[in-house]
Structure formats: structure tokens, C-alpha cells
């Protein structure tokens, strides 16, 4: 019997989660240098339509990464709150998203 596929099989953004949290221990500068060096294809090219205001957050890499963290099979949220103890008192998931993954929104690599 074949194993059940992960929710994010094949998406390099999903592979970046354990690298950033486990290897880099959440260090934003290490993540930035890694992305500059490897130029991972994390972004999708624009589809040619104008997004409505509510769609804008769905296009952010930080939002996508945070969604993967919430859906991840491993205890990714435990790792996040272990590294960023101050986020235990965050008032929203978007606050956590910005602190942990916000630098991804400046990434210029395209697939």
C-alpha cells in the first residue's frame, strides 16, 4: 500500500519549513542567505488577473508558509513557539506569520 501523500508534497516552500526552524533555528539572516544562494523556485508567476483585496494575503509567501505550518503533520507550531516564546501571546496567526516568515515576502526567486 502506498503511503498517504503529504499536504504539500512537491512544494519547495514546504521543504523550507524544517530548514528554517530546525537547521537555522529561526535565524532570519541565515534564511535570507540561504535563499540568495540557492534561488529556490518559491514564487509562481502572475496569472494575469487583478487580485481583489482579500486575495492579496493568499499571494504572500509568508501566508502560504504559515498555512503549511498549521497543516503540517509534525509539531511545527510547537517548534515556532519554542523558538519565539514572545509569540505565545500573539493576538493573531498573522502576527506569528509576520515574525517567522515575513522576510519571505521580499524574496525575488521565481519558478
pLDDT, tens digit (0-9, with 9 covering 90-100), for 27-77: 999 999 999 898 888 765 445 545 555 567 778 899 999 999 999 888 999
The pTM of the full predicted model, rounded to 2 decimals, is 0.79
Residue in the structure block whose three cell numbers are 523550507: 16
**All cell numbers assigned to 76:** 511545527
Residues shown for the chain: 111
Task: With cut-offs at 50, 70 and 90, classify the pLDDT of residue 100.
Answer: very high
The neighbour count for residue 52, using CB atoms within 10 Å, is 7
Amino acid at each position: 500500500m502506498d503511503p498517504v501523500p503529504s499536504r504539500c508534497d512537491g512544494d519547495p516552500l514546504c521543504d523550507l519549513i524544517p530548514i528554517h526552524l530546525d537547521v537555522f533555528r529561526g535565524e532570519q539572516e541565515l534564511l535570507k542567505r540561504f535563499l540568495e544562494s540557492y534561488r529556490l523556485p518559491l514564487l509562481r508567476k502572475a496569472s494575469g488577473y487583478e487580485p481583489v483585496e482579500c486575495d492579496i494575503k493568499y499571494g504572500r509567501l509568508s501566508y502560504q508558509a504559515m498555512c503549511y505550518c498549521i497543516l503540517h503533520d509534525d509539531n511545527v507550531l510547537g517548534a515556532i513557539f519554542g523558538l519565539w516564546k514572545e509569540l505565545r501571546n500573539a493576538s493573531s496567526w498573522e502576527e506569528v506569520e509576520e515574525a517567522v516568515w515575513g522576510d519571505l515576502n521580499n524574496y525575488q526567486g521565481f519558478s
